[in-house]
Amino acid sequence: MHDPIRREGFDTYLDRIRAFTRDRLIPNEPRLEELGAIPEEIVQEMRDIGLFGISIPENYGGLGFGMEQQVLLTIAFTRASAVYRSRFSTTIGLCSQSILDFGTEEQRRRWLPGMAAGTITGAFALTEPEAGSDAGNVRTTAIRDGAHYVVNGSKRYITNAPEAGVFVLMARTDPSVPGAAGVSAFAVPAETPGIRVGPVPRMMGQAGSHATEVFFEDCRVPADALLGGREGNGLKAALRGINHARTHVAATCVGQAIRLIDEALAHASQRRQFGEPLAAFQSIQNMLADSRAETAAAKALVIDCARAFDRGPPIPYADIACAKYFASEMVCRVADRAVQVFGGAGYMEENAVARLYRDVRLFRIFEGASQIQQQQIARDMLRNGAGL
């Protein structure tokens, strides 16, 4: 279904995404906030323009773009609310990449074409009350019973769970084996009896992104749902999806920072104090300059990381951690400066910077908190040296 997009070439497609962001996504942000959900016609437009398929290979119906191309696209469409991205991010990253690299060919054929078309949304069911950063502490169990596994447990903060067509589930198949070795991955149809999705919680930001609890209660999952047909590979599959997603999160932080700078620059140029535009004051110029410099540095880092990803294997885990850590911390500083440039107006809901300020705070937490990224970077340095 994406043949016309592939024929037009990447640069033309990137321009289309920039125009789509400018003309459709940004103007509909107030409506998104009011509804607490992305309007369905906008979701359909995202499907039609190919956003659900950017990371999925062409032979499974996707656009087959490399990581550098995906990063450039992400920077373009995340100049709009990051909530739009959240609607397809779990499909293009966490779920599709785990299935692509660790699934059987039958599993790839079953799930990836629908994901690429946007008719199947993937939700990544890893996090639990006692297992977030400590992913090896998964307590949800999947016990073999003949031709099925019986799953019991709960997951939390599962983005797109209410919209999911498939859960990529991490569960402990061997309770006698502690840590990662006892965890396996499954591709579980969302309509499987025994799955219950909790209510959508209210969050500090990202209103319209649905991250809920999911409960598995004597849920009988066919044995052929075991990803790759092998037990014990769950966290390896999870890390494949997570590192893809972390690279996209870093790019998202760059896109959000660019939008914040645009908002702050426009306000500083138009707002007058003491007979002059705010932009004439050195203190304002310093905040704008710092924001641009840090955003440029993050953009260069994430693109360099994406190029290393494309050259792989191996996947540049430490570089991905650097990019995610720096970019997520950077965008929060840029958001704070943007609110400061706006002054009192920046605290008012009528201005986008107030919403963006809340939205970007999440990026320092999910897909591995900043402290986890620091730990991974330092461990790699202690094993392999500075790596520079």
Q: For residue range 12-37, what is the model confidence (pLDDT) as tens digits?
A: 999 999 999 999 999 999 999 999 99
Cβ(219)–Cβ(199) under 8 Å?
Answer: no
**Is residue 241 located within the same domain as residue 314?**
yes
* Share of the chain residues as helix, strand and coil, in percent rounded to the nearest 5: 60, 15, 25
Kindly state the greatest CA–CA separation across the chain.
Answer: 79
Return the pLDDT at 1.
Answer: 58
Positions in the chain short of pLDDT 70: 1
| Beta-carbon-side half-sphere exposure of residue 353 (alpha carbons within 13 Å) | 28
Q: What residue type is 50 in one-letter code?
A: G
Three-point CA angle 14, 20, 26, nearest 5°: 125
Residue with tokens 């940004």: 26
**Is residue 131 located within the same domain as residue 76?**
no
**Is residue 301 located within the same domain as residue 204?**
no
Q: How many helices (H) and strands (E) does the chain have?
A: 13, 9
Q: Which domain holds residue 136?
A: 123-231
Question: Over the stretch 145-173, which tens digit does the pLDDT of each residue have?
Answer: 999 999 999 999 999 999 999 999 999 99
Cβ(217)–Cβ(167) under 8 Å?
Answer: no
Report d(CA 247, CA 85) in Å as an integer: 14
116, 367, 209, 233: CA torsion to nearest 10: 50
**Is residue 285 located within the same domain as residue 241?**
yes
Report d(CA 78, CA 306) in Å as an integer: 17
> What is the number of structural domains in the chain?
3
**Is residue 248 located within the same domain as residue 358?**
yes
Report d(CA 49, CA 279) in Å as an integer: 38
**Is residue 96 located within the same domain as residue 49?**
yes
**Is residue 214 located within the same domain as residue 311?**
no
Considering 68, 128, 163, 367, which one is annotated as catalytic? 367
Residue 367: active-site member: yes
Q: What is the CATH number of the domain that holds 50?
A: 1.10.540.10
Return the pLDDT at 131.
Answer: 85
Q: Is 301 left (phi over 0), alpha (psi -120 to 50) or beta?
A: alpha
Return the pLDDT at 313.
Answer: 86
